[in-house]
Amino acid sequence: MNDDSSVHRIAAVVRKHVSDLPPGTRLPSTRELSRAHGVGPVTVQRAVAALVSEGRIETRPGVGNFVAAPRLSRRRDVSWQAAALGPPRPGVPEQAGSGLRGVPDDTIALHSGYPLPALQAGSLVAAALSRAAKDPAASRPAPSMGIPSLRHIFAAELAGRDGCDVGADDVLVTSGGQAALVAAFRGLARPGDTVVMESPTFWGAIAAAAEAGLTVVPIAARPDGPDPDELERVLTLHRARLVYAQPTWHNPTGAAWSPAARSAVLDVLRDHGAFLVEDDWARDLTLEGRTPAPLVCGDPDGHVVHIRSLTKSMAPGIRVAALVARGPALQRIRASRWAADLYVSPVLQLAAAGVLAAPAWQRHLVRLRRELLGRRDALVAAVREHAPLAELTAVPRGGLSLWVRLPDGTDAGTVAARCLQAGLAVSAGDEWFPAEPDGPFLRLGFAAAPPDQFDRAAGILGRVLDGPQP
């Protein structure tokens, strides 16, 4: 009997067997079935896989195979929801930006915004998680502002490194930077208000603003920071009192504001009685030179709401960030945060505190920066050699990606789609613009793929750009 007919025979036997059993009944193991029917384990596994795809068997990895509950025979009719929901909320995309999308294993991942496991603080995180799991606080609700030890560490980090007037009472722990953005926008503005953002900027911030019902007004992102006169004009023209920016290693361009721009923007904020949400997402990701002091350190009076996330430098699974704010602004943001999710998982907070307090954390950061610098240089060289039509807008001194301009008239979305077909994932620039893009761009990340793939990646991009454009 050939292999396929053995698979069919075993599948038929098991199918008949399960039809008489209630859902949830455990089936004999692969070894038992292969012994009982005189066939090899691979044949049994293929028969089981066929029955799984028919919906008769459910496999629970590491536990076994079980009789599945019958599928609903009636097709769902959810058409009533269209009228009940009405039109979608403007500006909130249906799915997260391309950086979070999954791609097949054999695709080179230059699209992703999160570092590969090899660059994460893996063993430190594993040890801290296992210690956290044993802590009695891990199974209790956490304070809504965050666990005190973690808030102290975040405050001490700012005060120690940058001489900032920030205390633990000013710190609110959130589930990553994205949750902090939503809480800040909801806490500082009302639906219909305006938020000013550099253009291009992080797609998650654009989505968070839309989710909070805000209108985004762009101002040009410049290599040294926004033009303070332009910021002044925009705030006046749109009666805005909220600005969002990433002054250090701006994602996607990699720019860092000059000291002059930092102090000029603080002046504008004071003159206008406005807030700045300072998204300091890349504080740990300086590749060359010094990390500039955050704006919050030059602002004792609560104009700056500072967000510092650990997800990129520690591990994406440790979804923990700190939000620093002062005065009623902190109370409003806190209220909006707890209304969304009550408190952040104490297990993750304890683990984050454990990693931050470990002496090896600083060594991890040194290694991470060194590795990222090597990867940045490798990708810059690969793009220059194999994809000369992709013009590097700058060689960033921090962050995780390059921002390249494509020849005028190129459609970045089409280029990204063609690259994907050829085995390379990149992020098309359009999603990074809160209004019309000022040209065709791609973001190429150097942290989520091994550097020995960079030449091949740039080769694919080069060939796509050399080919006929639509």
Ligand X SMILES: Cc1ncc(COP(=O)(O)O)c(C=O)c1O
Chain positions 108 to 147 lying near ligand X, rule: CB under 6 A, are 113
Chain positions 75 to 114 lying near ligand X, rule: CB under 6 A, are 113
Strands (DSSP E) found in 208-342: 215-220, 242-245, 275-279, 304-309, 321-324
What Å distances lie between residue 170 and 114, 326, 345, CA to CA? 28, 6, 20
Tell me the three state secondary structure of residue 244: strand
The one segment of 30-38, 75-83, 170-178, 269-277 that binds ligand X by CB under 6 A: 170-178
User: How many residues form the binding site for ligand X (CB under 6 A)?
Assistant: 13
Chain positions 178 to 237 lying near ligand X, rule: CB under 6 A, are 178, 202, 204
Q: Which residues contact 7 (CB under 8 A, 6 or more apart)?
A: 43, 46, 47, 50
Strands (DSSP E) found in 201-303: 215-220, 242-245, 275-279
| Distance from C-alpha of 12 to C-alpha of 378, rounded to nearest angstrom | 55
Q: In the bound complex, what is the minimum distance in angstroms from residue 145's beta carbon to ligand X?
A: 18
Q: In the bound complex, what is the minimum distance in angstroms from residue 427's beta carbon to ligand X?
A: 11
| Distance from C-alpha of 407 to C-alpha of 312, rounded to nearest angstrom | 31
The one segment of 58-66, 175-183, 218-226, 296-304 that binds ligand X by CB under 6 A: 175-183
- For ligand X, give the closer residue by CB, 206 or 274: 206
Q: In the bound complex, what is the minimum distance in angstroms from residue 64's beta carbon to ligand X?
A: 36
| Distance from C-alpha of 178 to C-alpha of 319, rounded to nearest angstrom | 10
- For ligand X, give the closer residue by CB, 175 or 410: 175
Tell me the three state secondary structure of residue 464: helix
Q: In the bound complex, what is the minimum distance in angstroms from residue 116's beta carbon to ligand X?
A: 15
Q: In the bound complex, what is the minimum distance in angstroms from residue 246's beta carbon to ligand X?
A: 5
- For ligand X, give the closer residue by CB, 350 or 460: 350
For 294-305, give one letter per residue: b (16+ CB within 10 A) or e. Answer: bbbbbbeebbbb
Q: In the bound complex, what is the minimum distance in angstroms from residue 197's beta carbon to ligand X?
A: 11
Amino acid type, 236: T
Q: In the bound complex, what is the minimum distance in angstroms from residue 30's beta carbon to ligand X?
A: 40
Q: In the bound complex, what is the minimum distance in angstroms from residue 236's beta carbon to ligand X?
A: 27
Q: Which residues contact 258 (CB under 8 A, 6 or more apart)?
A: 224, 225
> Are the C-beta atoms of 330 and 337 separated by less than 8 Å?
no
DSSP state of 38: T
The one segment of 59-67, 171-179, 266-274, 322-330 that binds ligand X by CB under 6 A: 171-179
Write the binding mask 317 to 346 for ligand X: x where contact by CB under 6 A, - elsewhere: ----x-------------------------
- For ligand X, give the closer residue by CB, 113 or 462: 113
- For ligand X, give the closer residue by CB, 128 or 465: 128
Among residues 176, 292, 354, 434, the one that binds ligand X under rule CB under 6 A = 176
Longest pairwise C-alpha distance within the chain: 86
Among residues 115, 177, 225, 354, the one that binds ligand X under rule CB under 6 A = 177
Among residues 246, 291, 349, 410, the one that binds ligand X under rule CB under 6 A = 246
Q: In the bound complex, what is the minimum distance in angstroms from residue 255's beta carbon to ligand X?
A: 12
Q: In the bound complex, what is the minimum distance in angstroms from residue 349's beta carbon to ligand X?
A: 14
The one segment of 120-128, 176-184, 253-261, 379-387 that binds ligand X by CB under 6 A: 176-184
Q: Is 90 exposed, middle or buried (0-12, 13-18, 19+ CB in 10 A)?
A: exposed
Check residue 311 for interaction with ligand X (CB under 6 A).
yes
The one segment of 30-38, 173-181, 219-227, 237-245 that binds ligand X by CB under 6 A: 173-181
Among residues 279, 284, 371, 431, the one that binds ligand X under rule CB under 6 A = 279
Picking from 310, 326, 297, the residue whose alpha carbon sits closest to that of residue 184 is 326
Tell me the three state secondary structure of residue 242: strand
Among residues 43, 112, 251, 427, the one that binds ligand X under rule CB under 6 A = 251
Tell me the three state secondary structure of residue 40: coil
Q: In the bound complex, what is the minimum distance in angstroms from residue 154's beta carbon to ligand X?
A: 14
Among residues 98, 107, 291, 309, the one that binds ligand X under rule CB under 6 A = 309
- For ligand X, give the closer residue by CB, 176 or 346: 176
Q: In the bound complex, what is the minimum distance in angstroms from residue 138's beta carbon to ligand X?
A: 21
**What is the bridge-based pairing of β-strands 321-324 and 391-392?**
unpaired
The one segment of 8-16, 172-180, 187-195, 341-349 that binds ligand X by CB under 6 A: 172-180
Tell me the three state secondary structure of residue 111: coil
In order, the DSSP letters of 167-225 are -GGGEEEESHHHHHHHHHHHHH--TT-EEEEEES--HHHHHHHHHTTPEEEEEE--TT-
| Residues at the interface with ligand X (CB under 6 A) | 113, 176-178, 202, 204, 246, 251, 279, 281, 309, 311, 321
